[in-house]
Amino acid sequence: MRLLPAIAAVLWSASSLMTITAQAAAPESGMPLPPAHAAPCLGDGTGYVRARIRGALNVDLNWKDAQLECEGEARPDGSGLRVSFAGPLPGNKVLHLVFGVSSAREGAPGRELPTNLTVLLEGGRVFATRGDDKCTLDQLSQRALPDRSGARAWRIEAHGFCVAPANAVAGGGRILVSRFDFAGRIEF
């Protein structure tokens, strides 16, 4: 998986650079470059991420398929699914969103699923809910995708919200992701 090494590098960077205080800039006239990746999220134009983020980062995300990178898999402990997205912010920064969805299963729809959220701003800022009791997927659907690599692949679509903030892992600050919607890809 391409995103997971990048996320690990950002986490390491955040833990070693505790004084970084990156703030998302106000939207500029030009759209920043998308993250470097081999193909769009789903490739058929239907992938997306929309989110409202307030606090130490103030941004409304509206990423479309070609602007973002996504991947997903079972959580390492088998307790659900993990789906990751990376997309552009103004100032040529990249933001990563990682959703850990408890109790979700491969190919199964779901409602009211507890969700852990980690938000990583390239350059070292990391925010985490540190538990799945602060965010919820209201609705989760999955649809089988054609086989590309010998893995079982699914189009995953979800709508959710957080009721409590994600706190900075290092240093101060917090963000609230009051709503989010996404469509991406998971593989098993």
Q: Can you give the residue ranges of every domain in the chain?
A: 3-17+43-187
Q: What is the pLDDT of residue 147?
A: 73
| H or E segment and range at residue 82 | strand 80-89
H helix runs in the chain, sequence order = 3-16
Degrees (nearest 5) of the Cα angle 17, 122, 79?
A: 95
Q: How confident is the model at residue 39 (pLDDT cuts 50, 70, 90)?
A: low
Dihedral angle over CA of 121, 9, 174, 21, nearest 10: -60
Distance CA 166, CA 55 (A): 10
Cα-based distances in Å from 177 to 36, 69, 121: 25, 20, 14
Distance CA 72, CA 142 (A): 12
Q: What is the pLDDT of residue 146?
A: 84
| H or E segment and range at residue 34 | none
Q: What is the pLDDT of residue 40?
A: 79
> What tens digit of pLDDT does each residue of 125-144 get?
999 999 999 999 999 999 99
Q: How confident is the model at residue 124 (pLDDT cuts 50, 70, 90)?
A: confident
Which residues have CB under 8 Å from 88's CB, separation 6+? 31, 32, 33, 34, 35, 63, 67, 94, 95
SS3 79: coil
| H or E segment and range at residue 153 | strand 153-162
Tokens matching residue 70? 């996504």
Q: How many CB atoms neighbour CB 178 within 10 A?
A: 13
